[in-house]
Structure 1
């Protein structure tokens, strides 16, 4: 088919293939450079005025938008190189898009809900939330879906339209809550005094306020429940609760041994 190398190099088909290959290479180079620029810009924007979680949320969203826009630009460029007349294609796409739009109300709802989730800052990357029946840490927030990592490691993809309400557990101080079950044979007042003595010198770097005994939470014929609470830094309440249980248990064991 080709008499020599020059005929092959300068053949229209070869030229077209080179142009397509060049467009693909440019896509990957621009995507890599663009992502690095976006990340560097957000790294420089770290400040006290804007929370780190907010910056991470906007950074991931901007990266997604950038990738999608770049992909469509390169795709249309390749189609044009291959000789497709994009005018009729775009017109047909508009008609088809209009028809599909009537059946894509869920997608529109996802985008609208995602917009307001971002605008109202109901949740951000790194927040511990309960949303759409799922508990976990927000890993990514987009216009269509929200990614939440459960505490068992499961990554949940939630369409934004399914997020009808958000319980954000990461805003402000949290509360460590420990319920202690006391056998019915123990005197309630004596048990409360023991718990107060156990937590009197309790300290933890995540504490905002000292732990205190609220009193009897429940009281029935078999057991008595005494509640202890303390304000902690966000996401540190579980560590404080574990340490409180350990300290109180150790104190009660010491009292039993001394007796």
Structure 2
């Protein structure tokens, strides 16, 4: 009997053993059970977390919506990672793999890798303090370096920011050294209006002031009535009036556009002109002829 026949006979003998098929069937059922239980734990765990935050939102010790969204997303990720890790360990035990020895070896390897993964440790520590200190949250509009956008997700290692045109910046938390958060305090809309020198400035200021008083009731994003500060600048062909308005966070762009539109419509209705570039053309030949005739 040659080697090939021996291998074939062993394979046939193994495949016909009843004990092997029973063990394989039990192992498959155990793995399916582990995956099913893991799915249920993640599902009901996330439901419990969301219900807890919902109860906190309607209780006396509520937290801000922006911080709630950040913690919800973080806790969802944490519970998923923990359950996946435990499930993998349980599946390895089904295959009779010594998990304790594996974890001990992983600990030694992890210690060795840790010296070469200092940036990863730095990212995780920085991410922890970003969340703990509530430096910014999901939904906040922030600036990191030259990039501005809305925070889409905060993890322990990276932060995802989406800007106005749709680009997504994924930055390691360890690289975040300075952050400008535009969503914590109220914003201020600044509007400069140019008035022609030929117009009555006091009359224009009176009309604008009467308009600004009515805007608080029509725009809910205005925190207070817009204020006319007066003449901001005197330029070559215009006098610039400045209007400021305190708005809810990140709504100053919208309010500034609304103020410009309403003031422009008002000045047009009152016949007050806004300066615009003018071009004067003359003919040198005709000018010389007129000078000769005058002499």
Residues 73 and 58 (structure 1), Cα distance of their counterparts in 2 relative to 1, 3 Å cut? same
Q: Which of 48, 53, 67 is the equivalent residue of 2:66? A: 53
Runs of 5+ consecutive residues of structure 1 not aligned to the other structure: none
Tell me, in whole angstroms, the C-alpha distance in 2 between the residues paired with 1:38 and 1:9.
Answer: 43
The alignment status of 1:174 with 2:178, answered yes or no, reads: no
Residues 132 and 26 (structure 1), Cα distance of their counterparts in 2 relative to 1, 3 Å cut? farther
In structure 2, the partner of 1:14 is: 25
Residue by residue over 1:83-102, the C-alpha shift from the partner in whole angstroms, topping out at 9 and shown as x without a partner, is 21223322221122112111
Q: Considering only CA atoms, is the larger Rg found in Structure 1 or Structure 2?
A: 2
Q: TM-score, normalised by structure 1?
A: 0.86
State how 1:63-142 maps to structure 2 within 5 Å: 63-142=76-155
Deviation at 1:12, TM superposition (A): 1.4
Instruction: Work out whether residues 31 and 70 of structure 1, in 8 Å CA contact, stay in contact via their aligned partners in 2.
Output: yes
Q: Which of 165, 172, 175 is the equivalent residue of 1:159? A: 172
Tell me, in whole angstroms, the C-alpha distance in 1 between the residues paired with 2:117 and 2:47.
Answer: 34
In structure 1, the partner of 2:39 is: 28
Instruction: Work out whether residues 124 and 141 of structure 1, in 8 Å CA contact, stay in contact via their aligned partners in 2.
Output: yes
Runs of 5+ consecutive residues of structure 2 not aligned to the other structure: 1-11, 274-295
Instruction: Work out whether residues 194 and 241 of structure 2, in 8 Å CA contact, stay in contact via their aligned partners in 1.
Output: yes
Instruction: Work out whether residues 8 and 14 of structure 1, in 8 Å CA contact, stay in contact via their aligned partners in 2.
Output: no
Residues 116 and 183 (structure 1), Cα distance of their counterparts in 2 relative to 1, 3 Å cut? farther
Tell me, in whole angstroms, the C-alpha distance in 1 between the residues paired with 2:93 and 2:198.
Answer: 85
Deviation at 1:143, TM superposition (A): 1.3
In structure 2, the partner of 1:221 is: 236
